[in-house]
Structure 1
Amino acid sequence: MVAKLPAIPERKEDLLTIANGQVKIGIDREKGGSITYISSAGYSRNIVNYRDPGRLIQQSYYAGIRRDRRQEGQGKHWSPWSWNPIQGGGIGSWAEVTAFERLNEHTLYSETIPNLWDMPNEPAAALMKQWTRFEEGLPNTIVVQCELQCDRDENDPWGPAVANPQEVPACYFTRNFHIAKSYLGDGEWQLETDPPGLPWTKASPPLQAMAFFEESGQGIAVFSPTAGKSWNFGSSGGPNNIEDPTSTYTMHVAPVVRVNLGPKSNFNYRYWLVLGTETEIAASLDVLIEKYENEEYELTNSSN
């Protein structure tokens, strides 16, 4: 069962979008600068679930030890919890955006002071930057560059760098994109199955790419070449046909990599989103894999 989050005051959306005739994508000022909108020529509705700050398509990181902070107001469902800055925000609160602009007709940019997930309205000592643009030569493909700048006190209670899983990125789609497949290359796919509800199911996509399709055959793929072999994915339950982007029910995927984030670490990586049918997505993934399969993330100051 999915834990119920506190009610969040309704806030007017402020969406910046770019479109190229094949794909439309938007980031939201009122939701941490996260990606809250994606549609395609083949699927005109919004694919992104943006019900609360824990959904969206967004940056999410973990560092330090897990702490019980319930006496300070920590959410009981997230205790003990590590230092977990979330681009969208924390429980019951949206993060603050400090820069938000369309750099040109192909690129969106945002800077965000993330919130710690386990506490309401607690800004993290960090800054997230994000560049969202179309991949050159692949009109059905979006590339997202993410940067985390940590600025914690080196003697804070979360402690020094330890190996923690990082979501690169965290993605939440509408529930109807329930058919999960790992890409095997050369147009071949492997169906992945999961029991509804938490905990999330594990998958090991061999080429660091998974796609999620709805019944008509339209889909969205995530290619994250810097991720490790174990990915989280699955549904939160509910019927397979829910198209509502504000529904409780959702489909989730998170490529995961273990990284030692310290108090002063900087972390940079890229991922790609591909829209279309199986055939269209496979053709673009083959190009991306050939070009970027050896791409690595950048990490500095991890020893602090």
Structure 2
Amino acid sequence: MKKILSLVLLLCSSCIFAESKDSKDSWAYLDNGTVRIGIDRSRGGCIGFFGQSKTQRNLLNHFDEGRFVQQSYYGDKDGSNWNGNPWIYNPVQGGSWDKQPSRMLDFKVNQKDHSLYSKVEPRRWSSAKPCPEAIMEQQIKLKDNIASITFTMNYSGEDHNDERHQEMPAVFVDGALKKFYYSKEGKLVNEAPLILAEGAKAGKKGLGLGKSTSEWVAYVDDNQWGVGIYTPGTTDFTVYKALGDGTTGPDGSACSYVAPLRTFTLKKGLKVEYTVYMTIGSLKQIKSRFEALKAKQSLQEKK
């Protein structure tokens, strides 16, 4: 897993200087009275808002095109570079590092059943080349206090050789949520994430790679309240915190990052499809909801 860790550390060490300003008119939201989720249509329909309906405080970070809850895949070296750094084939849902947006192909929202669908042609992160060979879709649904997001990527490009650790998905949280927890054999584990200081290319000591046997992770505040992320069938994860200039909030330079990981190679005809669940609450509530959801899914699979 060291490959993906070195890539995301390099990514963060440079992108913290590339803030984007978005238009409020480009955002679309779903709100079921319990939770609220929002996507930025000008940046690949990426998820950049998640909060409680009553407070409408955004617990995510969308400082630049790379910092969203979104799809991003890694392939072979392609001779590209960005911001002076050698890079690889990397279609990103939100667009390129120099703010070239992905192309929205389809967008539908149904407020009655709290669902939203989008389809985009992504761009390579480094070169901004369009990626018609890696069409990405997402289907968002809200039910009670949980948001379910189904991501799909159909790849029709050339075969790649390198097996990569892939983000399932990339998740960027408000840097104010500093404490990282995961579940191991049903028990809560708290470890300090790897720290990346502004301008640094190497992280300070901390957890950079791990395994959550219960398949969920969370970022919370000092009161153990925050955001939980659950990708069924995905135990490995990579995690770090970027200090930036210290500013927190949705567009702050500081952020808390985590990504569940799966390992595979991009091959022609590959279809990637998975669902991630997100919720907001106390650590105890997050754990209880995801355990209940996992038990329900296990029963359905046995039928």
Deviations 1:126-180 (A, max 9, x none): 2101001124xxx11111101101122x3xxxx4454221100000011011110
Q: Hey, what does 1:167 align to over in structure 2?
A: 167
What CA distance in whole angstroms lies between the structure 1 residues aligned with 2:165 and 2:155? Answer: 16
Q: 2:36 aligns with which of 19, 24, 28?
A: 24
- Write the distance in 1 (CA, Å) between the matches of 2:294 and 2:39: 26
State the 1:274 CA deviation. 1.4
The Cα of 1:295 is off from its aligned counterpart by 10
Percent of aligned pairs sharing the same letter? 22
Query: Per-residue deviation at 1:7?
Result: 5.0
What is the CA–CA distance in structure 1 between the aligned matches of 2:84 and 2:297, rounded to whole Å?
A: 38
> Where does structure 1 lack aligned partners over 5 or more consecutive residues?
297-304
- Pick the structure with more helix per residue: 2
The alignment's C-alpha RMSD in Å is 2.6
Contact 2:15–2:64 (8 Å) recurs in 1: no
**Paired residue for 1:236, among 228, 237, 242?**
242
CA gap of 1:263–1:34, structure 2 versus 1, over 3 A, is same
Q: Which amino acid aligns with 1:91?
A: W
Q: Measured at CA, do residues 161 and 288 of structure 1 come closer, stay the same or move farther in structure 2, by a change above 3 Å? A: farther
TM superposition shift of 1:25: 0.3
Distance 1:30 1:189, change over 3 A: same
Q: Does residue 102 in structure 1 map to residue 73 in structure 2?
A: no
Residue in 1 aligned with 2:212? Answer: 205
TM-score computed with the length of structure 2 as normaliser? 0.83
Q: Is the 8 A contact 2:140 2:150 kept in 1?
A: yes
Q: Is the 8 A contact 2:194 2:239 kept in 1?
A: no
CA contact under 8 A between 1:202 and 1:230: conserved in structure 2?
Answer: yes
How has the CA–CA distance of structure 1 residues 254 and 7 changed in structure 2, closer, same or farther, with 3 Å as cutoff? closer
Change (3 A) 1:6 1:75: farther
Letter of the structure 2 residue corresponding to residue 12 of structure 1 = S
> In the superposition, relative to structure 1, how do residues 183 and 44 fare at CA in structure 2: closer, same or farther (>3 Å)?
farther
2:155 equivalent to 1:144:
no
Within 5 A, what are the aligned runs for 1:138-287?
139-152=144-157, 154=158, 159-184=159-184, 188-197=187-196, 198-199=202-203, 201-227=208-234, 229-237=235-243, 242-287=247-292
Determine if contact 1:95/1:123 at 8 Å carries over to the other structure: yes
Between 26-35 and 1-10, report the one with greater CA deviation.
1-10
SS of structure 1 residue aligned to 2:258: strand
Q: How many angstroms does 1:290 deviate by? A: 1.3
- Give the whole-Å Cα distance in 2 for the aligned partners of 1:97 and 1:42: 30
Tell me by how many angstroms 1:191 deviates.
Answer: 0.5
- Partner-residue secondary structure (3-state), 2:243: coil
Equivalent residue, structure 2, for 1:61: 73
What count of residue pairs does the alignment treat as equivalent?
A: 278
Partner Cα separation in structure 2 for residue 9 and residue 280 of structure 1: 34
TM-score if structure 1 supplies the norm length?
A: 0.83
Structure 1 residues 179 and 51: CA distance shift in structure 2, 3 A: same
